Amino acid sequence: DVKVTQSSRYLVKRTGEKVFLECVQDMDHENMFWYRQDPGLGLRLIYFSYDVKMKEKGDIPEGYSVSREKKERFSLILESASTNQTSMYLCASIGGGMNTEAFFGQGTRLTVV
């Protein structure tokens, strides 16, 4: 059974804190993604990675950074959390080639106060 696991289901942080969201997949997938989901805006791509230590900006990278030191782990970092980063964060992984189904983690509901 394929699995993408996000480290926290709910998280509350203070403005200005550095926040780490972790995502681990056990499918040996090359591609991993971070999205945020807000009402009426759908899933917006923050960053993605197609290999270890490789990353590319998505549509809304401002205020975020990522790290991929191992193939199975992709971390999203909020350098200095702000209230407008309150959102649902979803991690996904895709195998690559013809196997392009995305598997999602359970999501992290982040509230910045």
Partner 1 sequence: QKEVEQNSGPLSVPEGAIASLNCTYSDRVSQSFFWYRQYSGKSPELIMSIYSNGDKEDGRFTAQLNKASQYVSLLIRDSQPSDSATYLCAVNSGGTDKLIFGTGTRLQVFP
Give the interface with partner 1 as residue ranges (CB under 8 A).
30-31, 33, 35, 40-45, 48, 50, 56, 58-59, 90, 92, 94, 96, 100-102, 104-107
Complex with partner 1: residue 58 or 63, whichever CB lies closer: 58
Going by C-beta distance under 8 Å and a sequence separation of 6 or more, which residues neighbour residue 95?
27, 29, 30, 31, 101
Shortest Å distance, C-beta 80 to partner 1: 27
Shortest Å distance, C-beta 17 to partner 1: 25
Shortest Å distance, C-beta 88 to partner 1: 9
At residue 83, φ and ψ (nearest 5 deg) are: -60, -30
Dist CA 99 CA 37 (whole Å): 24
Shortest Å distance, C-beta 42 to partner 1: 3
Dist CA 90 CA 88 (whole Å): 7
Complex with partner 1: residue 14 or 42, whichever CB lies closer: 42
At residue 19, φ and ψ (nearest 5 deg) are: -120, 135
Complex with partner 1: residue 17 or 86, whichever CB lies closer: 86
The pair of three-digit structure tokens given for residue 2, joined into one six-digit string: 């394929």
